[in-house]
C-alpha cells in the first residue's frame, strides 16, 4: 500500500532553465517527518532519508549502514516558479500528480504540465506556486562513527546523480533494550492493542500485558505517541505521557 504525507519544500527557480529530461529527476532529502525535524544525529541513531526518483537507481554512502525501509511514499512539494516575460518553466521534480497551482499576484493564464515542463498560453511575467506529489523511497542510515556522511544515488536513465550530507555528532552509545508498559490511568490495568510510535517511528501494538518492545535507545529525550480505541490519543489528553528521558 502506498503511503502519503504532506511536507513542504519551497524553492525558487528561474523559468526557461534546462533541468534535464522532462520525465527524469532524482533528489535526496532528510525525512523531516520520521526524523521529527532533527537535522543532526547522534552516532548509532536512525537517520531517515527520502529519495525522490522517476526511475530505478542505485545508492552508496561514505560510511555507516544504509537500507531501504519504505517505497511508494508520496512526498508533497510546494514550489514557486518565476516567469520573466516567458511562456515556459520547469519544476524541480517529475510530479506523480499536480495537487494545485496558483498565481501569486497577477494571473498569467492556465499552465500546462508535461512532466517537469510548464507551458503558458503566451509569454508572461509572474510567480506561479505549484503543489505537487513526487514518488519517493524511504531509507534508513545508521552510523557508529561521528562526522559527515555522504549519501548518493545514481539513476542510469537520464544519467542523473544526487547526494546529501548527514552530520553525525555526539556520543550515540545505545543503552537498553527497553520495554514500554502502558496502563489505564484510573484503574492501573494493562491495555493491549495500543499503537505506539517512538520519535515518529511506528513500534507496534502492545501485547496482552500492555507491553511493546522499544529496543536499544540512544541517551536523551524520546517522544511517544500512543493510540487505541476507547481512549484519547496521548497527544490529545492532558497527561504527561508524551516523552521520556533515557
Residue 144, pLDDT score: 86
Identify the residue with better confidence: 159 or 36: 159
Cα separation, 47 vs 115, whole angstroms:
30
- Could you tell me which residues come within 8 angstroms of residue 157 by beta carbon, excluding any fewer than 6 positions away? 24, 54, 55, 56
Q: Is there a contact between 225 and 235 (Cβ–Cβ < 8 Å)?
A: yes
Checking if the pLDDT of 17 tops 50, the result is no
Cis peptide bond upstream of 164, omega within 30: no
Mean pLDDT of 138-158: 92
Checking if the pLDDT of 3 tops 80, the result is no
Closest by alpha carbon to 77, among 56, 92, 55, 57?
92
How confident is the model over 67-98, as pLDDT tens digits?
A: 999 999 999 999 999 999 999 999 999 999 99
Residue 11, pLDDT score: 34
List the chain domain ranges. Answer: 3-169, 174-245
On whether the pTM is more than 0.95, the answer is no
Cell of 101: 497551482
Checking if the pLDDT of 16 tops 80, the result is no
User: Would you put residue 33 in left (φ > 0), alpha (ψ -120 to 50) or beta?
Assistant: alpha
Q: State the maximum Cα–Cα separation within the chain, in Å, rounded to a whole number.
A: 70
Checking if the pLDDT of 42 tops 90, the result is no
CB neighbours of residue 199 within 10 Å? 21
Checking if the pLDDT of 19 tops 60, the result is no
Closest by alpha carbon to 139, among 61, 62, 77?
61
Amino acid at each position: 500500500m502506498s503511503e502519503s504525507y504532506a511536507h513542504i519544500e519551497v524553492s525558487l527557480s528561474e523559468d526557461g532553465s534546462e533541468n534535464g529530461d522532462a520525465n527524469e529527476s532524482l533528489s535526496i532529502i532528510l525525512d523531516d517527518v520520521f526524523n521529527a525535524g532533527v537535522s543532526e544525529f547522534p552516532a548509532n541513531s536512525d537517520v531517515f532519508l527520502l529519495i525522490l526518483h522517476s526511475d530505478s537507481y542505485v545508492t552508496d554512502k561514505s560510511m555507516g549502514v544504509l537500507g531501504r525501509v519504505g517505497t511508494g511514499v508520496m512526498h508533497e512539494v510546494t514550489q514557486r516558479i518565476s516567469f520573466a516575460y516567458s511562456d515556459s518553466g520547469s519544476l524541480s521534480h517529475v510530479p506523480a500528480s499536480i495537487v494545485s497551482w496558483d498565481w501569486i499576484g497577477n494571473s498569467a493564464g492556465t499552465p500546462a504540465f508535461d512532466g517537469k515542463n510548464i507551458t503558458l498560453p503566451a509569454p508572461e511575467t509572474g510567480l506561479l506556486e505549484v503543489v505537487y506529489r513526487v514518488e519517493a523511497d524511504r531509507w534508513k542510515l545508521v552510523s557508529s562513527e561521528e562526522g559527515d556522511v555522504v549519501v548518493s544515488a545514481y539513476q542510469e536513465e537520464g544519467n542523473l546523480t544526487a547526494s546529501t550530507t548527514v552530520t553525525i555528532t555526539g556520543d550515540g552509545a545505545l543503552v537498553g533494550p527497553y520495554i514500554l508498559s502502558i496502563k489505564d490511568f484510573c484503574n492501573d490495568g494493562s491495555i493491549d492493542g495500543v499503537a505506539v510510535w517512538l520519535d515518529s517511528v511506528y513500534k507496534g501494538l502492545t501485547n496482552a500485558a500492555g507491553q511493546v518492545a522499544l529496543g536499544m535507545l540512544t541517551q536523551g529525550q524520546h517522544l511517544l505517541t500512543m493510540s487505541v480505541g476507547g481512549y484519547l490519543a496521548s497527544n490529545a489528553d492532558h497527561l504527561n505521557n508524551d516523552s521520556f528521558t533515557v
